[in-house]
Chain A
Amino acid sequence: MQNREILLSIENLHYQYGKRVAVESVSLNVAKGECFGLLGPNGAGKTTTISCIAGLLSQWSGSMTFRSNEFRPASVASDRGLLGFVPQELAIYPNLTAEENLRFFAKLCGVANAQLQTTIERNLQMAGLLDRRHDLVRTFSGGMQRRLNLAAGLLHSPALVLLDEPTVGVDPQSRNHLFETLLRLKSEGLSLLYTTHYMEEAQRLCDRIAIMNEGIIVATGTPGELATEIGDANANLEDVFLHLTGRRLRDE
């Protein structure tokens, strides 16, 4: 981490919906080639944090930099172009084919016409959908749609991809495919900011993890560092999570 270039740096991020504080004093850094996990129960503020970074929310306070430059994604369109974004919802069009979906998002991302076809084919290949490229998305299984949803966020080869619980409702095979894809992309130097509340996902994918609870980051570190922090070097991530966030039921 110390030797890696810091891509995204956030200091004291604060956001509130009306009077309800959703994110408070969140600070984090994501390095090049790193998978940074935001782990937390429902309503912890993970999606709000990612939405601020993706430019979906603008009324936040604090500061953000991308490669040490001021980063204002909500108001500067080109800042949003630095990121890939894979939302929690299946944000693809069911009445378009897989290829048409990717072509549409690639054009919006600014992929040059000359590279369009190659880019689409590479991403279809990555999603395992090359042979279904001409099929309407509405005929796809949930897992196939999730894979396409991921591919649509990677089209312009961004340096950092925001993934907001990308494996919700996915069968084990597709989930495994997604993990393998993300690990390969990470090994190629892509940075990931990944939110989830599945411990095994975070354990498997993330180099460092920030555990969020009620809008604040309660701990940050590698899984090993977090285990040490709670005084049990043999604790798994779930133990750490429950220790830091408590066993009380959470509602959104």
Chain B
Amino acid sequence: MNTLSAAWTLAQKDLRSFVRDRTALVLSILVPIALVSVFGWIMAYAFGGAGGMPKVSLHVADLEQSVASRRFVDSLSSSEMLRVRKVEIDKSAADLDARLEKLIRDGDANHVLVIPAGFEAKVGANETPELRMLRDPGREMEDRIVQLSIMQAAMAQLGGSVWIGAMDRMLAEQGMDSQGLLQVRGWMTSIGDTINALAAANAASDQVATGNENAEAELPRTRSGFDMQGMLDFMASIVPVATKDISPPDRAKQVTYQQAQSVAGMTVMMLLFALTSCGSVLLSEREDGTLKRLFAQPISRNAVLLGKFLFVMIVGIGQMAVLFTYGEFMFRVGLFRDPVTLVVLSLIWVAAGGAFGIFLASVSRSKKQAESLASLLILMMAALGGCWFPLQMMNLPPLLDTICKSTMTYWAMSGFQGMLWNQLEWNSSRILVAISWQVGWICVFTLLSIYFFRRNFCRG
């Protein structure tokens, strides 16, 4: 038999074996389909869907609740770049600012725009309203989007008062007295009226030509070489927003949100891979025949399962220690700032991952099957849980949002992000919620593991 014939014969044999392993065959088709579907779904929202712009959460505390302030909030809400969340707060509370700052400190909000009392009066008097922004520094991309969106809303809803206010400030800085300012305002109003009249006439003729009654002015597009920061600086001078940075006192200055996200995300995901691989020792024992001998020993079957869980836990803790030490060495993200929280979160995640690994082993018929299932489920959970992209940047529909927030990876990320970025301690409400969810998953996977272990390994 020549080489080609021999190779073909071997390939035929392998194909026949492959096709006869039905589970492997189904998984080989299902895994790519499932992964493509989930990643396609998530990626679409990661980059803002068809609009190509991610949505950023902006919390708005409207302390006035007037017609003008509501119109301004509505204008913000209509922005394609923002997901506006109204902060329900008692505006008469003495510790109002502290409460708003807590939203940032706890990681519940990254930007809180405060619309102060007197907003409507300022707008009515053609004065620039004094907006305040509390923000978590270090999120430059989100900052720019928020800043730009506020400018757009201000332009759209506050109109002339914004420009007049800006002009007043600029001229006052140049030394013009109040008399001069009034004169300039008169000229500006006259020019503005002329422009508005022309614009109205153009709009009417466009409407006749296109028949589109809802035609909106196109947003200016960013061109190649456009100085975005310059534009933002200019606009910031038109609508001044008093910004206050709220960050934990000892957050390392060089740490970026992306680094914190990356260290947490990769640790959570890679540890799952490692733990499921360890969990498959149960299947190795069965395939090698040693499980039979273990079952013949004067020990309980549950001890065998518990032994595997302990093994996975110990390996996981070791891997976590190595990953975090390396992450700290490379990125200086302040992992060891709060060792207690680090240990608590690590133990919980190792236990959750270990329970998941043992569960996978208990439902699989072979190591090969377990590996395929692990790849499928881990990659899906990593994508859904925000290990790759921060979910805050995604404009998820309610169903997908609920799915994402049900995954154990989401809560592991929430815990680690809370610790790394917001520097929350293990007993803070956000971290306790994250821990509770993970404990829930540990219980679910442990119970399922015991059930399937008894059914698939011990029955006979």
Report A's interface with B, CB cutoff 8 A. 51, 54-59, 77-81, 83, 85, 87-93, 105, 108-110, 152-153
Q: Find the B residue at minimum CB distance from A78.
A: B298
Q: Tell me how far the C-beta of A175 lies from the nearest C-beta in chain B, rounded to whole angstroms.
A: 20
Per-position 1/0 for B266-296, Cβ under 8 A of A:
0000000000000000000000111011111
Q: Are B460 and A152 in contact (CB under 8 A)?
A: no
The 3 closest A-B pairs by CB, nearest first: A89-B289, A81-B298, A91-B293
Contact present for B297 and A109 (CB under 8 Å):
yes
Residues of chain B whose beta carbon lies under 8 Å from any beta carbon of chain A: 288-290, 292-300, 459-460
Say how far A144's CB is from chain B's closest CB, in angstroms. 17
Q: Which residues of B contact A58 (CB under 8 A)?
A: 460
Contact B289 A87 (CB under 8 A): yes
Q: What residues of A have a CB within 8 angstroms of the CB of B289 in the complex?
A: 87-91
CB distance from B288 to the nearest CB of A (A): 7
Contact yes or no, A55 B296, CB < 8 A: yes
B290 in contact with A91 (CB, 8 Å): yes
Determine the chain B residues whose CB is within 8 A of the CB of A78 once the complex forms.
Answer: 298
CA A54 to CA B296, docked complex, whole Å:
6
User: Given known contacts A77-B299, A78-B298, A81-B297, what 7 new A-B pairs fall within 8 Å (CB)?
Assistant: A77-B298, A89-B290, A90-B289, A91-B293, A93-B290, A105-B297, A108-B299
Residue of A nearest to B300 (CB): A77
Q: Is the CB of A56 within 8 A of B292?
A: yes
Assembly CA distance A80 to B292 (angstroms): 12
Which label, helix, strand, loop or mixed, suits the secondary structure of the A interface?
loop
Instruction: Tell me if B295 and A55 are in contact (CB < 8 A).
Output: yes
Partner of A89, one of B292, B295, B299: B292
Q: How far is the CA of A55 from the CA of B296 in the complex (A)?
A: 6
A83 near B296 with CB under 8 A, answer yes
Q: What chain A residues lie within 8 Å of B297 (beta carbons)? A: 80-81, 105, 108-109
Chain B residues contacting A87 (CB-CB under 8 Å) are 289, 292-293, 296
- Asked whether, in the complex, the Cβ of B290 is within 8 Å of the Cβ of A92, the reply is yes
* Nearest residue, chain A, Cβ from B296: A85
Residues of A contacting B300 in the complex (Cβ-Cβ under 8 angstroms): 77
B52–chain A nearest beta-carbon distance, Å? 53
Q: Is the CB of A108 within 8 A of B294?
A: yes
Q: Report the bound CA distance from A80 to B294 in whole Å.
A: 11
Q: What's the nearest-Cβ distance from chain A to residue B400, in Å? A: 43
- Name which of B294, B296, B298, B299 has the most chain A CB atoms within 10 A of its CB: B296
Q: Which residues of A contact B288 (CB under 8 A)?
A: 89-91
**What are 11 inter-chain pairs, A to B, with CB distance below 8 A?**
A59-B460, A79-B298, A80-B296, A81-B298, A83-B296, A89-B289, A89-B292, A90-B289, A91-B293, A93-B290, A108-B294
Q: How far is the CA of A55 from the CA of B298 in the complex (A)?
A: 10
Q: Flag if B460 contacts A57 (CB, 8 Å).
A: yes
CB distance from A96 to the nearest CB of B (A): 11
**Docked-complex contact A56 and B298, CB < 8 angstroms:** no
Residue contact B296 to A110, C-beta cutoff 8 Å: no
Smallest CB-CB separation from A77: which chain B residue?
Answer: B298
Inter-subunit contact B298/A91 (CB<8 Å): no
A74 vs B63: C-alpha distance when bound (angstroms): 71
Note all chain A residues with C-beta closer than 8 A to B295.
Answer: 55-56
In Å, the complex CA distance between A59 and B299 comes to 19
Q: Name the CB-closest residue of B to A110.
A: B298
Q: Within the assembled complex, what's the spacing in Å between the Cα atoms of A105 and B297?
A: 8
The answer to whether B294 and A56 touch across the interface, beta carbons within 8 angstroms, is no
In the complex formed, the residue of B with least CB distance to A108 is B297
Residues of A within 8 A of B292 (CB): 56, 87, 89, 91
Alpha-carbon separation in the docked complex, A74 to B106 (Å) = 53
Residues of A within 8 A of B459 (CB): 59
**Nearest-Cβ distance from residue A83 to partner chain B, whole angstroms:** 7
A90: B residues at CB distance < 8 A? 288-289
CA distance A85 to B289 in the complex (A): 13
Closest chain-A Cβ to B318's Cβ sits at a distance in Å of 17
Write out the residue numbers on chain B whose beta carbons fall within 8 Å of the beta carbon of A56: 292, 295-296, 460
In whole angstroms, how far apart are the Cα atoms of A180 and B288 in the complex? 27
A108 to B459, CA, bound (A): 22
User: How distant is the Cα of A59 from the Cα of B460 in the complex, in angstroms?
Assistant: 6
* B residues in contact with A152, CB < 8 Å: 293
- Cα–Cα, bound, A152→B292 (Å): 13
Residues of B within 8 A of A54 (CB): 296
Contacts of A105 in B (CB 8 A): 293, 297
Expressed in whole angstroms, the Cα–Cα distance for A85 and B297 within the complex equals 8
A76: min CB distance to chain B, Å: 9
Q: Determine the distance from Cα of A96 to Cα of B289 in the docked complex, in whole angstroms.
A: 15
B293's nearest neighbour on chain A, judged by CB, is: A91
Residues of B within 8 A of A57 (CB): 460
A85 to B298, CA, bound (A): 11
Query: Once the chains are docked, how many angstroms separate the CA of A58 from the CA of B458?
Result: 9
- Provide the bound-state CA to CA distance between A185 and B298, in Å: 22
